[in-house]
Amino acid sequence: MRHRLTEILPRRAVLLLSGGALIAATLPAGVPRAQPLIGNTANPAPPAGGVPIGIIGSGNIGGTFGTLWAKAGHPVLFSSRHPETLKALVESAGPLARAGTPAEAAAFGQALLVAVPYAALPGIGRELGPALSGKVVLDACNAVAARDGDIAATAKEKGIGLLSAELLPGAHVVRAFNTMGYRVFQAQAHRAGDKLAVPIAGDDPAALQVASVLVRDAGFEPVVTGGLATASQFAQDAPGYGQQVTARELRGRLGLPEQ
């Protein structure tokens, strides 16, 4: 079910969803506008509905959520440096899914999901930063010492949410979708009864609202823990990590107020 965001999003650089239709907010000068693509060909016509979402990192997590969003009515562009390898994923996601390069995904998406090894995040910031500026970027990257090296220690010391925002300057970063494996998300999406809780954190209230809508469209219930500094509460080995519980239960475990 789509949620109205018309009254809660500011005029700057985020989208409005109203009655299932996409309405682009007025963007400040210099902020790139998303250009819908068909394959690798620019198409100036806006999509009939949904939010264009670019997926940077089309592995297990990126593929899972991109597919859920495409089936919920959002145009999705999965990306890879070799987009021809994504043919099977695009076909399984349905007619709203396309494949392209990371640069094309960054330009296409008015919201982005980044799901890559954390050590790759600085490179994404350098290569794609201008295209991400002013957009909502959902950061699902975990910093694993054995895989990512020294940056994992930096993330723990500084706080992973704050470091992600530093590495993606200008983007409205929201930490999300990092707490469970993709098989759990696939199995629990749109489950009957109370939905599985997904903790999210961000410094921009409007970005959190956009992220909350996308969490619900994927079939889960968002739990806002607070600003990016609170993302450490659901980082790996933290109390909020790996919790397959309802929103009410997760708020209780993290000491958050009832909503």
Residue 228 is encoded by which pair of tokens?
């990016």
Segment 11-23, tens digit of pLDDT: 333 343 333 333 2
Segment 243-256, tens digit of pLDDT: 999 999 999 999 99
CATH number of the structural domain spanning residue 107? 3.40.50.720
What is the layout of strands, in order, in the sheet containing 197-202? 97-100, 76-79, 53-56, 111-114, 136-139, 172-175, 197-202, 221-226
Side-chain half-sphere exposure of 76, counting CA atoms within 13 A: 31
What distance in Å separates the CA atoms of residue 140 and residue 117, rounded to the nearest whole number? 9
Residue 77 is encoded by which pair of tokens?
């562009």
Segment 133-175, tens digit of pLDDT: 999 999 999 999 999 999 999 999 999 999 999 999 999 999 9
Question: Does 184 map to a domain?
Answer: yes
Per-residue pLDDT at 258? 87
Question: Does 8 map to a domain?
Answer: no
Q: Residue 259 in 3-state DSSP?
A: coil
Question: Does 123 map to a domain?
Answer: yes
- Tally the domains of the chain: 1
Please give the single-letter amino acid code of residue 91.
Answer: E
Assign 3-class secondary structure to 20-55: CEEEECCCCCCCCCCCCEECCEECCCCCCCCCCEEE
Short-list 41, 85, 39, CA closest to 63: 85
Question: Does 237 map to a domain?
Answer: yes
Buried b (16+ CB within 10 A) or exposed e, 36-67: bbeeeeeeeeebeebbbbbbbbbeebbbbbbb
Q: Residue 83 in 3-state DSSP?
A: helix
Side-chain half-sphere exposure of 248, counting CA atoms within 13 A: 2
DSSP per residue over 158-220, as a string? H-HHHHHHHHSTTSEEEE-S-SS-HHHHHHHTT-SSSPBEEEEEES-HHHHHHHHHHHHHTT-
Q: By the 8 A CB rule, do 149 and 119 touch? A: yes
Question: Does 173 map to a domain?
Answer: yes
pLDDT, the chain, mean? 85
What distance in Å separates the CA atoms of residue 64 and residue 88, rounded to the nearest whole number? 13
Task: Give residue for tokens 């997904």.
Answer: 198
pLDDT band at 259 (very low <50, low <70, confident <90, very high): confident
Structural domain span for residue 170: 15-254
Task: Give residue for tokens 């519980």.
Answer: 245
Per-residue pLDDT at 6? 31
Per-residue pLDDT at 12? 35
Q: How many residues does the chain have?
A: 259
Question: Does 5 map to a domain?
Answer: no
Question: Does 2 map to a domain?
Answer: no
Question: Does 241 map to a domain?
Answer: yes
CA distances from 33 to 62, 131, 133, 134 (A): 22, 8, 10, 9
Mean pLDDT of 190-199: 98
